[in-house]
Amino acid sequence: MSTARPIHFGDPVRRLRGIGPRQEEELAERGVRTLGDLLEHLPFRYEDRRRPLPLSDARPGEVLTAIGEIVSTHSAGARRRRLNILTVVIDDGTSEMRVLFFNRPYLAEYFEQGARVLVHGAVRLTRHGLEMHAPEFEILRPGGGLSGVTGWIPVYEKVGPLKARRVRQAIAVILDGLEEIDDPLDAEMLSRLGLPSRLDAFRQVHRPGSSVDESDLRSRCTAGHRRLAFDEFFLLEAGLALRRARRMREKRCEGYRLDEDLRRRLAAVLPFKLTAAQQRVLGEIGEDLKAAWPMSRLLMGDVGSGKTIVALLAMLVARENGFQAALMAPTEVLARQHAAGLQALLQGHSMTVDLLSAGIPMRQQKQVRARIEDGLAQLIVGTHSLISEKVKFKKLGMVVIDEQHRFGVVQRADLVSKGAHPDVLVMSATPIPRTLAMVLYGDLDVSILDEKPPGRRPIRTVVRRADQREQVFRGLRQAIDEGRQIYVVRPAVEDGAKSGLRAAQQAPAEFRAAFPDKELRIGIVHGKMKAEERQERLESFKAGNEQILVATTVIEVGIDIASASVILVEDAERFGLAQLHQLRGRVGRGDLKSYCVLIASEGADPEALERLRVLEETDDGFRVAEKDLCLRGAGEVAGTAQSGMPSFRVADLVRHKELLLIARNEAFRHIDSEGRTSFSEALRREILRKYGTQLRLAETG
């Protein structure tokens, strides 16, 4: 680094000494072009070198920071081939210690006799006495102080061609040279929220002083970390606000009529009294439909919370206003189930529901497409077939997407683009914590159905260890005797020697062998089966032809067989909590008290079992999801993988949850009811730089 000129955040990395065109290129490939980009690489941990101790205080098994003089170095190949051992003996006046490095003979030239060196690492007792193996080390400059080598030392991942140690040096140089950096965030807001300036934040996270609170530092919750986490959240939410504002300016061609007369007629369709949650959500949807811009709403509700009727009513409003409404489901089975369910609800109201999917005969598909094109079909249910180019809507005004996480972003957008700014309602039975929803679908309005229709009998869930299998089978025998229908879920389809997972295909033989006296009829469904075959087998189980249905997670969504009242999940720890919760939702749909038995595999560790117990404690999908988020992190929570979830450098949805809520409020204050925004130009540029790409990815319509 040439120290003559002051350096700036936006300077190219090539300003650093030792970074030539080639490294510059490699860094650019990793998105590191400027000094600022490098500063955004934060330490992933901190080494506690606050208290250097005399060598005489070394205790085996403890981590020690010590400073000594090099007495001798010795490099030798060991008897075992290809191992070089460099032995450095240091002495600090209180004692001597051997420090060993393996296969790094080139280090010898650094360790000159008489030089002072700081070492940090675990002390071990060997037959040669106390030793340190491969410790962290710093050669100290003669007469130099200890700043930068003792205290909290940041530890980095390597960045492209730069080794971790080099990253540390480079960042130190940058921090020494920086005088000021632009802060895209509003100073008034920062001081109101008690957050430090951007430069101070970088200083704190890269060079925490010795006075920093240790637990804050370890949990990345120092003021500096919080400020940088806030930046990520705020820029994201601001980006989402921009997207929302854009949509608010896309005026719908016509507003919807939603008067008393229409309400009365819709109410007549209902076979039951809506729950308070359903009423509340319908109110929210109603407000959307009266507004001049199209609705974009996510409806989250646990399995069985009654989302379908809510969707149907929204679809009917569109229909009554002369628009077509389409519901897209991720599987053939679900589409058929929805079509049949909606048709049943509309019994006696002279309205038909059209079904379009790859599973119905070609000729019929053609007819349905024709009906869609000339507007005869008004309520349409289908699968991906709906987004085929062959499908042209006359006047599509309402798009409902069920189990939205099963669809790619593009597929959703494709259906939406078949109308002129239609209203969009996406539904999810995979409840995700509100914080996560905000990040994933932050520009959608969120409605939550958090109440189940009355009369449900709770499902009793039990977790069992592998060695309790016999007990589980006694329970199964009783269930069979009572004439119950049982799902058995296994993680794999076929026996894979390496997976070690229980395979669905083995199950029928195993269960027949376990109950030789019962002459069990056992069906099986799995993902490697054709859709029609799967459908047939489900129908057969539904008709009561089999006592047991063995399945993989294909039954996770939507399967509605009221007579099944027991679900046994094997190797249960292999599934996510949210997924198990979904599976559990397959039972408890009829009048019988239902059971969910989760049996862990032989190899399951106690922690995994503990995790499963969450399901024993609660049947609230949101609480399960919240737990899943805490235990496994956002990336793992069901359904988030493909949804274009942004990756954060500092921000953490669990740790910094309250910051996300604040960031959202602050960001959305910048849009008004007409869709006008008031972000500064600098902020807009920053939003695009950071989240431009990802936000397009996360686009829902």
Nearer to ligand ADP, 399 or 400 (CB): 400
Q: Which residue has the tokens 């869930």?
A: 461
Structure tokens of 543?
């008709």
**Selected range binding ligand ADP among 150-158, 306-314, 362-370, 615-623, rule: CB under 6 A:** 306-314
Structure-token pair, residue 141: 């400059």
Minimum CB separation of residue 452 from ligand ADP in Å reads 8
Q: Which stretch binds ligand ADP (CB under 6 A): 192-200, 301-309, 365-373, 417-425?
A: 301-309
User: At its nearest, how many Å lie between ligand ADP and the CB of residue 632?
Assistant: 24
Note whether 322 binds ligand ADP by CB under 6 A. no
In degrees, rounded to 5, the angle at the alpha carbon of residue 373 between the alpha carbons of residues 367 and 377 is: 70
Write the binding mask 18 to 37 for ligand ADP: x where contact by CB under 6 A, - elsewhere: --------------------
Residue with Cβ nearer ligand ADP (301 or 508): 301
Helix (H, G, I), strand (E, B) or coil at 547: coil
User: Does residue 309 bind ligand ADP (CB under 6 A)?
Assistant: yes
- Alpha-carbon distance of 242 to 521, in angstroms, equals 57
Ramachandran sector of residue 80 (left: φ over 0; alpha: ψ -120 to 50; beta: rest): beta
* 621 is an interface residue for ligand ADP by CB under 6 A: no
In the bound state, the residue with its beta carbon closest to ligand ADP is 306
Q: How far is the CB of 449 from ligand ADP (least distance, A)?
A: 7
Q: Which H or E run includes 283?
A: helix 276-290
The piece of 145-153, 230-238, 298-306, 369-377 that touches ligand ADP (CB under 6 A) is: 298-306
Answer for which of 305, 321, 565, 677 binds ligand ADP (CB under 6 A) is 305
| # residues near ligand ADP by CB under 6 A | 15
We find the least distance from the C-beta atom of residue 633 to ligand ADP, in angstroms, to be 27
Stretch that binds ligand ADP, among 225-233, 250-258, 299-307, 638-646 (CB under 6 A): 299-307
**How many whole angstroms separate alpha carbon 41 and alpha carbon 478?**
59
Residue 272 in the binding site for ligand ADP (CB under 6 A): yes
> Any alpha helices (H) in 482-517, and if so which ranges?
507-514
Q: Looking at this protein, which amino acid is placed at residue 18?
A: G
Q: Is 274 near ligand ADP (CB under 6 A)? A: yes
Q: Which is nearer to ligand ADP, 94 or 279 (CB)?
A: 279
Contacts 24+ apart (CB under 8 A), 412-417: 412/700, 412/701, 413/699, 413/700, 413/701, 414/387, 415/326, 415/328, 415/386, 415/387, 416/701
Closest CA to 126 of 105, 97, 104, 83: 97
Q: Which of 65, 73, 308, 547 binds ligand ADP (CB under 6 A)?
A: 308
| Non-local CB neighbours of 511 within 8 Å, separated by 6+ positions | 488, 520, 522, 548, 550
Binding to ligand ADP (CB under 6 A) within 275-294 occurs at 275, 278
C-alpha span between 241 and 228 (Å, rounded): 20
Smallest separation, CB 482 to ligand ADP (Å) = 23
Smallest separation, CB 316 to ligand ADP (Å): 15
Could you write out the DSSP letters of every residue in 396-448? EEEEEESSGGGS-HHHHHHHHTTSSS-EEEEEESS---HHHHHHHSTTSEEEE
Nearer to ligand ADP, 248 or 300 (CB): 300
Q: Is 484 in the site for ligand ADP (CB under 6 A)?
A: no
Q: CA-to-CA distance for 412 and 23, rounded, in angstroms?
A: 41
Among the listed residues 208, 294, 301, 701, the single contact to ligand ADP using CB under 6 A: 301
Is residue 429 within the footprint of ligand ADP (CB under 6 A)?
A: yes
Closest to ligand ADP by CB, 230 vs 441, is: 441
CA nearest to 475, candidates 345, 586, 566, 414: 566
Told to check if 306 binds ligand ADP by CB under 6 A, we report yes
Interaction between residue 384 and ligand ADP (CB under 6 A) = no
C-beta of 321 vs 461, nearer to ligand ADP: 461
Alpha helices in 219-275 (DSSP H): 223-248, 260-269
What residues numbered 436-465 form the site for ligand ADP, per CB under 6 A?
453
Antiparallel, parallel or unpaired: β 564-570 and 548-551? unpaired
Under rule CB under 6 A, residue 590 binds ligand ADP: no
Distance CA(315)–CA(450), nearest Å, equals 22
In the bound state with ligand ADP, the residue whose beta carbon lies nearer, of 224 and 301, is 301
CB of 562 to ligand ADP, least distance (A): 8
Q: Is 303 in the site for ligand ADP (CB under 6 A)?
A: yes
Q: How far is the CB of 639 from ligand ADP (least distance, A)?
A: 15
Decide whether 234 or 441 has the Cβ nearer to ligand ADP.
441
When the beta carbons of 275 and 565 are compared against ligand ADP, the nearer one is 275
Per-residue b or e along 477-502, where b marks 16 or more CB atoms closer than 10 Å to that residue's CB: eebbeeebbbbbbbbbbeeeeeeebb
| 105, 148, 286, 304: residue in contact with ligand ADP (rule CB under 6 A) | 304
With respect to ligand ADP, which residue has the nearer C-beta, 68 or 382? 382
Region of residue 338 (phi > 0: left; psi between -120 and 50: alpha; otherwise: beta)? alpha
Nearest approach in angstroms of CB 456 to ligand ADP is: 8
Asked if 307 is part of the footprint of ligand ADP (rule: CB under 6 A), the reply reads yes
Give me 507's structure tokens. 């199950």
Other Cβ atoms less than 10 A from the Cβ of 68: the count is: 24
Q: Which is nearer to ligand ADP, 367 or 553 (CB)?
A: 553
To ligand ADP, the closest distance from the beta carbon of 284 in angstroms equals 16
- Which tokens in the block code for residue 24? 């510059």
Based on its alpha-carbon atoms, the radius of gyration of the chain, rounded to whole angstroms, reads 31
Nearest approach, Cβ of 564 to ligand ADP (angstroms)? 14
Shorter beta-carbon distance to ligand ADP: residue 279 or 680: 279
Task: Enumerate binding residues for ligand ADP (CB under 6 A).
Answer: 272-275, 278, 301, 303-309, 429, 453
